[in-house]
């Protein structure tokens, strides 16, 4: 079985209207949410997610989110590819990128953007907890973490809409004390 993890970037800073969208950093709320997610990963049942590869948008806010949450892996950081093509590319492009993964990759974490991630997860997953699926269809807030199981013996190149199971959806607000 293969696993796809999606991490939407944390809340970005809009204070400088002249700054290109790609270059917006995290705001304080986003930094806090990313730290909350990192803490959740550190203590979650079964330990932090352990992808074989990380695919991260080159947008500043996506990279900053990954920098904060990846602290849970300490010195054992998975291979990371920073890809401009993941920046607001559409769900079809994300699916194509996943189909291009090598079969040695059992689990992948993508760090990127909405609406692409919400649509990708929604359209991949025709299975899973109906409450989680409804929550995902309604909204994927910033810094939310999605877990998707792809049934064996599916190869990445054979991934298609409706094939996968939504196995987890964690939003920062779910973790607030």
Preceding omega of 141 cis (within 30 degrees of 0): no
What's the whole-model pTM score?
0.95
- Quote the CA–CA distance of 48 and 100 in Å, as a whole number: 25
Report which of 36, 93, 97 is spatially closest to residue 69, judged by C-alpha positions. Answer: 36
Give the dihedral of Cα atoms 159, 111, 23, 91; nearest 10 deg: 20
**Average pLDDT for 66-85:** 90
pLDDT at 74: 80
Q: Do residues 94 and 40 lie in contact, with contact meaning Cβ atoms separated by under 8 Å? A: no
Percent of the chain with pLDDT over 70: 99
Eight-class DSSP state of 13: P
Q: Both tokens of residue 59?
A: 């947008």
| Beta-carbon count within 10 A of 103 CB | 9
**123 class by beta-carbon count within 10 Å (0-12 exposed, 13-18 middle, 19+ buried):** middle
Total domain count for the chain? 1
Residue 85: give the domain boundaries.
Answer: 2-175
Q: Do residues 5 and 108 lie in contact, with contact meaning Cβ atoms separated by under 8 Å? A: yes
pLDDT-derived band at 177 (thresholds 50, 70, 90) equals low
State yes or no: pLDDT of 52 exceeds 70. Answer: yes
Which CATH number covers residue 7?
Answer: 3.40.50.1240
Report which of 88, 86, 94, 64 is spatially closest to residue 156, judged by C-alpha positions. Answer: 94
């Amino acid at each position: 079985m293969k696993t796809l993890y999606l991490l939407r970037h944390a809340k970005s800073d809009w204070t400088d209207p002249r700054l290109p969208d790609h270059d917006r950093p995290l705001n304080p709320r986003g930094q806090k949410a990313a730290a909350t997610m990192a803490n959740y990963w550190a203590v979650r049942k079964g330990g932090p997610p352990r992808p074989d590869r990380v695919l991260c948008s080159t947008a500043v806010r996506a990279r900053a989110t990954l920098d904060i949450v990846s602290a849970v892996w300490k010195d054992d950081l998975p291979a990371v590819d920073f890809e401009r093509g993941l920046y607001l590319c559409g769900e079809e492009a994300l699916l194509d990128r996943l189909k291009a993964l090598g079969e040695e990759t059992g689990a992948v974490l993508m760090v990127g953007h909405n609406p692409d991630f919400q649509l990708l997860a929604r359209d991949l997953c025709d299975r899973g907890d109906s409450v989680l699926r409804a929550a995902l269809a309604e909204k994927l807030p910033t810094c939310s973490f999605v877990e998707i199981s792809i049934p064996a013996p599916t190869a990445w190149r054979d991934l298609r809409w409706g094939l996968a199971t939504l196995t987890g959806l964690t939003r920062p607000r779910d973790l607030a004390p």
